Amino acid sequence: MLPSTSVNSSMQGNGVLNSRDAARHTAGAKRYKYLRRLFRFRQMDFEFAAWQMLYLFTSPQRVYRNFHYRKQTKDQWARDDPAFLVLLSIWLCVSTIGFGFVLDMGFFETIKLLLWVVFIDCVGVGLLIATLMWFISNKYLVKRQSRDYDVEWGYAFDVHLNAFYPLLVILHFIQLFFVNHVILTDTFIGYLVGNTLWLIAVGYYIYVTFLGYSALPFLKNTVILLYPFAPLILLYGLSLALGWNFTHALCSFYKYRVK
């Protein structure tokens, strides 16, 4: 799950990888260690994971400074503790149940919606985005003098989770308090409030993603990850001018899913 691996630093004098280091640094070994800890709650640091969730809103740079610290102390950037993933899953389940309640769904409809959101919207889309960003960053963003380093998939998935959390809280929790009485009233104020929440949520996702990749010293031109802000703002202005309501479309899509 390392985002970077130095080939030269893990070689012995004869240019052959030390067997212990090779085993310790393999993606398979790290994945096994991570998944094994996923079922050992007593070994998880939930307090630290909650701290990260707080600072992803107030000061996301501090979260990635901790990733630097992990690289120095544990020789890996990506998380080795699944506590953040567990707390994110809890947030996702609770907020989706809240969405089902606000949309007046029945018990089985809410469970169906929960399964869709968890396994398709979060896991499925997350795997796709992480894989895409992993490919793009390794193909186009690694500095020429740093070709011995690469962004590994585990770190790309961590960056996605970091960026997804603020979006989840804004669209699946804060927005719930305005859905029925403000956003879905088919008025200018309704889609102004709803679309502004979407602007903030997606903007957070873009910015936190940018911070994640710019934190890696062997990448270049990471500022291009901020370019989606331009079409995002343009789409926001266009939606207000034409009366598009993104939240209304989301609610209709959720209801269609559970039919």
C-alpha 92/C-alpha 99 separation (Å) is 10
Residue owning tokens 């989606």: 228
Q: Work out the average pLDDT over 80-100.
A: 92
pLDDT higher than threshold 60 for residue 11: no
Q: Residue 237: how many CB atoms within 10 A of its CB? A: 12
What is the pLDDT at residue 80? Answer: 78
C-alpha 92/C-alpha 123 separation (Å) is 11
* Band (14; pLDDT cuts 50, 70, 90): very low
Q: Work out the average pLDDT over 139-163.
A: 87
* Band (32; pLDDT cuts 50, 70, 90): low
pLDDT higher than threshold 80 for residue 148: no
Sign of the torsion formed by the C-alpha atoms of 62, 68, 70 and 72: negative
Do residues 142 and 149 lie in contact, with contact meaning Cβ atoms separated by under 8 Å? Answer: yes
Residues 6+ apart with CB under 8 A from 146: 218
The one-letter amino acid code at 123 reads: V
Which residues are bridge partners to 11 per DSSP? 17
Do residues 122 and 164 lie in contact, with contact meaning Cβ atoms separated by under 8 Å? Answer: yes
C-alpha 206/C-alpha 222 separation (Å) is 12
What's the number of CA atoms in the CB half-sphere (13 Å) around residue 162? 29
Q: Work out the average pLDDT over 23-52.
A: 72
What is the pLDDT at residue 204? Answer: 97
Please, what is the end-to-end C-alpha distance for the chain in angstroms? 39
Kindly state the percentage of the chain with pLDDT values over 70.
84
Residue owning tokens 């067997």: 19
- The answer for 75, left when phi > 0, alpha when psi is -120 to 50, beta otherwise, is left
Locate 93 and state its tokens. Answer: 């389940």
C-alpha 71/C-alpha 73 separation (Å) is 6
What is the pLDDT at residue 6? Answer: 43
What is the pLDDT at residue 2? Answer: 40
Residue owning tokens 């280091």: 21
* Band (13; pLDDT cuts 50, 70, 90): very low
Mind listing the pLDDT tens digit for each residue in 92-115? 999 999 999 999 999 999 999 999
Residues 6+ apart with CB under 8 A from 138: 150, 151
- The DSSP secondary-structure symbol of 123 reads I
Do residues 163 and 214 lie in contact, with contact meaning Cβ atoms separated by under 8 Å? Answer: no
- Average pLDDT score over the chain: 86
Do residues 184 and 247 lie in contact, with contact meaning Cβ atoms separated by under 8 Å? Answer: yes
